Amino acid sequence: MLTCLQLVKSFGGVKAVQSCSFEVKSNLITALIGPNGAGKSTVFNLISGIVKADAGKIIFQASKQVSSKQVGGEGINITNKSPEAISNLGMSRLFQKSRLFNNLTVKDNLLLAIDNEDTKFLKNLLGKNKITKEKEGSIKQILKLVEMESFENHIARDLSFGQKRLVELARAILNPHTFLMLDEPVAGVNPKLREVIANILLELKAKQETILLIEHDMHFTFSVADWVVVMQEGKVLVEGKPDEIKNNPKVLEAYLGE
């Protein structure tokens, strides 16, 4: 679904990503792990077009929805595309830092994710972009999923840190996509909800979604991931099935400890 080839990115003297290559397979949950500052979030930013690569290539296999069956489309080089263009190819993401629209309600935050009809001025002026029952329904449903139903009309700014994360996760899921990238979705979320989120991810996978996940909580990561890519100092150290990674001496030394 997604192929990163020899990505390079430096910030001034800091080599955040150095010749990083890996592949994300369709309909699987791939975890990207590694120590703080390994370059994981930078890789996310490169993929979603927020940060431009110094070198390397990112190929995205945008899959089209054809009568409920996923059909693989052409591989598209998204290396120099804008964030909105990449998003509209079917990519959605959650940021590591909270990026809610703080002065809007939870409901408005979610409505914004559903489609881009809201950028059409005349259609909106003429009142032809209605908030349909269907949209309301999907918002209620997703809020129920993350146990935030009673906060629909709260202003995002007033939510607690964990609640913000949950709404952001909901927003990322609601944004139309076939490929979902989550940067530390359970950081700051209580243990019970971590399990809820793990189940949500497994359900999304069951619905043929592809997920790329960054997470420091190893219990969570190994309980959902099908494939694990370990990064260190901007490079891929090793990759493999969760069981192999758990016992890999290089990974134990570099990251997992013990």
Ligand X SMILES: Nc1ncnc2c1ncn2[C@@H]1O[C@H](COP(=O)(O)OP(=O)(O)OP(=O)(O)O)[C@@H](O)[C@H]1O
What does the binding site for Mg ion look like in residue numbers (CB under 5 A)?
Answer: 41, 96
Q: Which is nearer to Mg ion, 42 or 63 (CB)?
A: 42
Give SS3 for 103.
coil
The region of 71-79, 145-153, 171-179, 188-196 touching other proteins under the rule CB under 8 A is 171-179
Tokens 């699987």 sit on residue: 28
Greatest CA span in the chain, whole angstroms?
63
Least Cβ distance, residue 14 to ligand X (angstroms): 5
Q: Tell me which DSSP letter residue 97 carries.
A: S
- Least distance to Mg ion, CB of residue 33, Å: 11
Among 64, 157, 219, 241, binds other proteins (CB under 8 A): 157
Nearer Cβ to ligand X, position 2 or 33? 33
In angstroms, give the least distance from the CB of 155 to Mg ion: 27
Going by C-alpha positions, the residue among 156, 142, 149, 143 that lies closest to residue 104 is 156
Q: Under the criterion CB under 8 A, does residue 50 sit at the interface with other proteins?
A: yes
For residue 16, the partner it binds in ligand X, other proteins, Mg ion, none, with Cβ less than 5 to 8 A by kind, is ligand X
DSSP, res 176: -
Nearer to other proteins, 130 or 207 (CB): 130
Q: Are 166 and 191 spatial neighbours (Cβ–Cβ below 8 Å)?
A: no
Is 126 or 206 the residue whose CB approaches other proteins more closely? 126
- State which residue, 16 or 111, has the beta carbon closest to Mg ion: 16
Q: Which residues bind ligand X (CB under 6 A)?
A: 11, 14, 16, 34, 36-42, 96
Is position 10 an interface residue for other proteins (rule: CB under 8 A)? no
Element at 2 (helix H, strand E): strand 2-11
- Give the full edge-to-edge strand order of the sheet including 179-183: 91-94, 179-183, 210-214, 29-33, 227-232, 235-240
The residue sitting closest to Mg ion, measured at its beta carbon, is 41
Q: Does 76 bind other proteins (CB under 8 A)?
A: no
When asked if residue 111 is in the footprint of other proteins (CB under 8 A), the reply is yes
Q: CA–CA separation, 75 vs 18, rounded Å?
A: 23
Question: At its nearest, how many Å lie between ligand X and the CB of residue 233?
Answer: 9
Instruction: Encode 84-105: b = buried (16+ Cβ within 10 Å), e = exposed.
Output: eebbebbbbbbbeeeebeeeeb
Sequence-ordered list of residues with C-beta below 8 angstroms from that of 140, at least 6 positions apart, any chain: 149, 152
Site for other proteins in 209-248 (CB under 8 A): none
For residues 6 and 132, which CB has a smaller minimum distance to ligand X in the complex? 6
